[in-house]
A and B are shown apart, each in its own frame.
Chain A
Amino acid sequence: MLAESDLRKGPNLATPLLSTTTGSWRLVRPVLNTERCNNCLICWLFCPEGCFTRGERVVSLDLDFCKGCGICVAECPREALALVEEGISDARLSER
């Protein structure tokens, strides 16, 4: 809850202010196969939530804000990303 001093000056508040991550919305999550990734940055570019970080050789993925939309998987030109249901381990993906 806001302090009295915040309430007194009106609904004008410092930003950003994040009370939750949106990762909990997710039913499926993207998993990255770093061996296939060639760092083309397509996923980094098209992720609406900005979940990818550029690296030296490959991208990395922080799922805090990932809503599981699947755009990164659909757009990846090298099939380096796949969606798995939440709760299923990454190992099963690599078997496929």
Chain B
Amino acid sequence: MVKIKDLPDAEFVQGSYACAGCGGILAVRLALKVLGPETVIVTTPSCLLGVTTFYPQLAFKVPCVNVTFPSTAAAVSGVVAGLRRRGKKGVKVVGLAGDGGTVDIGLQALSGAVERGDNFLFICYDNEAYMNTGVQRSGATPLGARTTTTPVGSLGRGEERPKKDMLGIVAAHNIPYAATASIGYPQDYLSKVQKAMQVEGPAYIQVLSPCPPGWGYRSDLTVKLARLAVQTGQWTLAEYENGRLTVKEIANPRPLREYLAPQMRFAHLLA
């Protein structure tokens, strides 16, 4: 278990152009505190690439390999093989992608890399839509959510399909380690990151990362919503390890309204 007090002072991403209250950059900042300086990031055009590696504002203090949208995990495989050839042991290679870059356009590459058994960690910072391009729905958008491509109108009721079960898909590859997490539960999240990076072979973490402009809420509520998502049963803290799936039980779920009410994307459901 990671102890918050033992996390390093060092920041490995700072000065990004992420929006105020961005859950995604918080997820990355925290993960890097566990991963440490011997880490290589591989990422794709997404909010993350745009806010951390756009000249003249380069915010990472670790190497970052940018690649095309479908290719995070494929480039990861190349970096892993190249570092092995160069005899660079102990360097962790971490693929970072949003939900679109993971469950939609990046799915094939991720499936390939996991199936090959390459030694890497893939973190999907899940903000439940294509935020960088202006809040279009993705395969990870939850049922009922209003996005710019699932608008609410006389016929439209928001997203019509439930969220894709990405953990199930990854687990079906017999991956050594996979988990879902939330930035609202940092100790749980970071303990999973630590476990994942110690695994020999592929590991996958999908971390719920609320997005103030995309979800339509006040920027100070990011962590609170990440917590409420779990407390209301809209997000599970699950772990797939040695072929077994365990899910953190929520003894007394809070009313769903508490999670939905602060978010514009669900406003039509409560009207």
Interface set of A (CB-CB < 8 Å, partner B): 2, 11, 13-22, 25-26, 41, 45-50, 53-54, 65, 67-71, 73-75
Contacts and interface: CB of A to CB of B under 8 A. Distances in A.
A48 B59 contact: no
B20 A16 contact: no
A53 B60 contact: no
B119 to A, nearest CB: 24
A3 to B, nearest CB: 13
A19 B56 contact: yes
Interface string B44-76: 000000000101111111011000000000000
B229 interface: no
User: DSSP majority for the A interface?
Assistant: loop
Contacts of B55: 2, 11, 13, 17
Contacts of B30: 45
A69 B220 contact: yes
B208 to A, nearest CB: 14
Contacts of A71: 21, 219-220, 222-223
B209 to A, nearest CB: 10
Contact of A16 (B17, B19, B59): B59
A84 B228 CA distance: 26
Contact of B218 (A15, A50, A70): A70
Name the interface size band of chain B.
Answer: 35 or more
B238 interface: no
A22 B25 contact: no
Interface string B206-243: 00000010000011111110000000000000000000
Given A13-B58, A18-B58, A71-B219, A46 B9 contact: no
13 contacts: A11-B55, A18-B58, A19-B56, A41-B4, A46-B26, A46-B223, A47-B26, A48-B23, A49-B25, A53-B9, A68-B20, A70-B220, A75-B223
Contact of B224 (A22, A48, A54, A74): A74
B56 A17 contact: yes
B29 A48 contact: yes
A2 B59 CA distance: 17
B14 interface: yes
B22 interface: yes
Nearest to A75: B223
Contact of A15 (B23, B25, B53): B53
Contacts of A68: 20
Interface string B1-26: 00011010101011111111111011
B186 interface: yes
Contacts of A20: 15, 57
Nearest to A6: B55
B227 to A, nearest CB: 10
Contacts of B26: 46-48
B216 to A, nearest CB: 15
Contacts of A15: 53, 58-61, 63-64
A48 B14 contact: no
Interface in B118-171: none
Indicate the member of A50, A73, A75 with the most B CB atoms within 10 Å.
Answer: A50
